[in-house]
């Protein structure tokens, strides 16, 4: 009986160390950003979900992650605004507040925010996410 309890404790300990949920291990994950970056021309839904799941307030002080994820966020919005809105609307464990905060502050001035706004506005969909993205692009434009 003692042996079973000891095995249960050891198993629980190992599970806690190595058995993080996928969502916990994906936060701030540079490998996900690398894979996303290498697939910018052909982003599928699963990859986009994984990318959005990397965003978390705990990443804010991780400079390399913060800059690169922000740049990729705007590249994704620029390259495929419809997929951006559709996947963001899935809300698969995203930190929406942190994602929206990133949309308010593009890391580069090279992004054409006017064009992004226009393309998002023309997406044939009416939902909260689309409206929030438009609102955040407007904030980004006014911050320039």
**According to the model, what pLDDT value does residue 6 have?**
41
pLDDT in tens, 6-30: 444 544 444 444 444 455 689 999 9
Write down the pTM of the prediction.
Answer: 0.82
pLDDT at 135: 99
Q: pLDDT tens digits for 89-123?
A: 998 889 999 999 999 999 999 999 999 999 999 99
User: 43 near 80, Cβ under 8 Å?
Assistant: yes
Residue with the larger pLDDT of the pair 3 and 137 = 137
Q: Which two tokens stand for residue 75?
A: 């590249």
User: What helix, strand, coil percent values describe the chain, rounded to 5?
Assistant: 70, 0, 30
Domain edges within the chain: 21-143
């Amino acid at each position: 009986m003692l042996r079973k309890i000891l095995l249960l404790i050891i198993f629980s300990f190992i599970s806690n160390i190595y058995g993080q949920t996928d969502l916990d291990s994906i936060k701030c994950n540079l490998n996900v950003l690398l894979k996303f970056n290498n697939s910018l021309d052909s982003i599928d839904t699963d990859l986009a979900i994984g990318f959005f799941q990397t965003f978390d307030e705990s990443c804010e002080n991780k400079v390399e992650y913060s800059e690169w994820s922000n740049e990729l966020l705007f590249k994704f919005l620029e390259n495929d605004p419809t997929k951006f809105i559709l996947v963001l609307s899935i809300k698969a464990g995203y930190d929406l507040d942190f994602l929206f905060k990133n949309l308010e502050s593009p890391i580069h001035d090279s992004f054409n925010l006017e064009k992004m706004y226009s393309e998002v506005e023309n997406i044939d969909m009416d939902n909260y996410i689309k409206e929030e993205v438009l609102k955040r692009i407007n904030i980004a434009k006014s911050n320039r």
